């Protein structure tokens, strides 16, 4: 990934400022159409979904009361995993975006909703709705790029610690909800700035710890204890743990697919100074990737399979993204832009491939073949064990060799 401004072929070079503003107006029109037609059917959709999700969760937890019996464990764990995914993605994420605020139902409102997640809704709304959705894919502004722990761009200098990046990434995926909580707290930056004693940070930390305590009490104490009469304490605990991990892995995968596959553009900090609405739209169009698939995929991904549409219109009801997707896609074609959509396995592979590629020095993975593997490994060893000087020398020599070959 190289920022769009530094690419040899800039995919938006053919658009004039007038084109971009016209594009913005056409997208505004799509939005206005949906806003004008929101109504009883949409309200019925979210209410039915919430009812279904709650019934599924309740049913699964009842089945798990006898989780010592393997079929009960399997059915209950599967049901609870699906319920938790629906709760976080198609319901929680979207309600917290304010997609349903227009209903003026205080029970389904972005200011009152709380979700089954380690991070408190308010903290997440700040880092997600305000920061990520405003500064999408702008290096140094959008911390969703690598969540502050990963090397996400060739322009970030390589350091040996990035060799561990695929492993960190996997661990982050497994315990994603806690990663998000730490990220929403800006834990890394706070430690770096030695601001752990800051009263505002302490207040937010307390809030997160309270939320985590409540969540853990529910999943790892109360429900296992309720299962004691059938001798199912440990198996229910394991079921709840499994459902949380399944939900974590799934939501992490969907999010990776939304912004991280090869071909999704990133932007330089300077490029968004004085950005117009049209330019903002354009950045959202190029900074997101869709997952192609059927209705089940859309539902289980919280319609983040329509990540492009979601980033253009984060507060439109998610059940309407599928309907506007063809219109949005037609605009991509009209303006000669690449609508990035591919099936889930392909997007996930692409995203993970990038994680691995960037964990290694620039170009290393692409240049390595079976025959040159020993010399490549030796080079990697040198770069990993040598200091910054050694690394710079090797990078400089590689560049020279490449120039000579060209």
Partner 1 sequence: MPTLTLRRIAELAVTPLVPDDYLDLFSPLRRGAQLRGRVVEVVPETRDAATLVIRPGADWAGHVPGQYVRVGVDVDGVRSWRAYSLTHGPRADGNISITVKSVPGGAVSPYLVHHTRPGTLLHLEQAAGDFVLPDLSTSAKLLFVTAGSGVTPVIGMLRNLFPSTDEGVLVLPRSDQVDITVVHVAPSEPDSIFLRDLRALDRAGAIRLVPRYDDVHGLLDMADLANLVPDLAARTTYACGPGGLLDALAAHHAAAGLALQTEQFRATTVVAGEGGEVTFARSGAVVDADGSTPILEAGEGAGVLMPSGCRMGVCYSCVTPLLSGAVRDLRSGDLTTAVPGETDPGGVLVQTCINAAAGPCTFDR
Contact positions toward partner 1, by CB under 8 A? 38-44, 51, 54-55, 58, 98, 101-107, 109, 111-112, 114-116, 211, 214-215, 217-218, 221-223, 226
Please, what is the minimum distance in Å from the beta carbon of residue 194 to partner 1?
30
Please, what is the minimum distance in Å from the beta carbon of residue 114 to partner 1?
4
Please, what is the minimum distance in Å from the beta carbon of residue 308 to partner 1?
24
In the complex with partner 1, which residue's Cβ is closer, 208 or 358?
208
Please, what is the minimum distance in Å from the beta carbon of residue 104 to partner 1?
4
Please, what is the minimum distance in Å from the beta carbon of residue 84 to partner 1?
12
In the complex with partner 1, which residue's Cβ is closer, 32 or 58?
58
In the complex with partner 1, which residue's Cβ is closer, 120 or 258?
120
In the complex with partner 1, which residue's Cβ is closer, 81 or 319?
319
- What Cα–Cα distance (Å) separates residue 211 from each residue in 31, 35, 39, 121? 36, 34, 34, 10
Q: Which of 32, 50, 37, 30 is nearest to 105 (CA)?
A: 50
In the complex with partner 1, which residue's Cβ is closer, 33 or 105?
105
- Start-end of H helices in 342-386: 344-359, 364-367, 373-385
Q: What is d(CA 320, CA 247) in angstroms, rounded to the nearest whole number?
A: 24
CB 308 within 8 A of CB 281: no
In the complex with partner 1, which residue's Cβ is closer, 106 or 388?
106
Please, what is the minimum distance in Å from the beta carbon of residue 78 to partner 1?
20
Q: For 18, how many CA atoms within 13 A lie in the half-sphere containing its CB? A: 0
């Amino acid at each position: 990934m190289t920022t769009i401004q530094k690419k040899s072929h800039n995919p938006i070079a053919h658009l004039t400022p007038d084109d971009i503003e016209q594009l913005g107006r056409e997208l505004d029109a799509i939005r206005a159409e949906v806003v004008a037609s929101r109504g009883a059917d949409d309200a019925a959709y979210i209410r039915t979904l919430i009812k279904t999700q709650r019934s599924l969760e309740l049913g699964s937890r009842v089945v798990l009361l006898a989780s010592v019996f393997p079929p009960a464990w399997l059915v209950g764990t599967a049901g609870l995993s699906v319920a938790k995914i629906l709760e976080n993605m198609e319901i929680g994420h979207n309600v917290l975006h304010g997609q349903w605020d227009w209903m003026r139902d205080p029970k389904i409102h972005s200011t009152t909703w709380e979700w089954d997640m380690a991070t408190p809704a308010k903290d997440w709304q700040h880092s997600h709705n305000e920061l990520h959705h405003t500064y999408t894919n702008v290096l140094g502004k959008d911390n969703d790029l690598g969540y502050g722990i990963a090397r996400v761009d060739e322009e970030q200098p390589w350091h040996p610690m990035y060799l561990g990046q695929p492993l960190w990434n996997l661990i982050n995926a497994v315990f994603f909800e806690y990663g998000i909580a730490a990220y929403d707290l800006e834990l890394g930056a706070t430690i770096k700035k030695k601001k752990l004693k800051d009263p505002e940070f302490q207040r937010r930390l307390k809030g997160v710890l309270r939320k985590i305590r409540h969540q853990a009490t529910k999943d790892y104490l109360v429900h296992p204890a309720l299962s004691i009469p059938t001798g199912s304490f440990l198996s229910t605990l394991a079921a709840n743990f499994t459902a949380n991990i399944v939900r974590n892995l799934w939501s992490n995968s969907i999010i990776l697919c939304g912004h991280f596959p090869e071909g999704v553009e990133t932007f330089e900090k300077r490029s968004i100074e004085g950005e117009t609405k049209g330019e903002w739209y354009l950045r959202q169009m190029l900074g997101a990737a869709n997952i192609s698939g059927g209705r089940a995929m859309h539902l289980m991904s919280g319609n983040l399979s329509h990540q492009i549409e979601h980033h253009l219109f984060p507060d439109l009801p998610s059940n309407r993204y599928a309907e506007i997707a063809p219109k949005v896609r037609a605009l991509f074609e009209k303006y000669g832009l690449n609508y990035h959509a591919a099936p889930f396995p392909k997007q996930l592979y692409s995203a993970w491939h990038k994680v691995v590629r960037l964990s290694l020095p620039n170009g290393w993975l692409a240049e390595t073949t079976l025959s040159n593997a020993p010399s490549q490994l030796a080079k990697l060893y040198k770069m990993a064990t040598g200091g910054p000087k050694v690394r710079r020398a090797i990078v400089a020599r590689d560049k020279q060799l490449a120039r000579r070959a060209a």
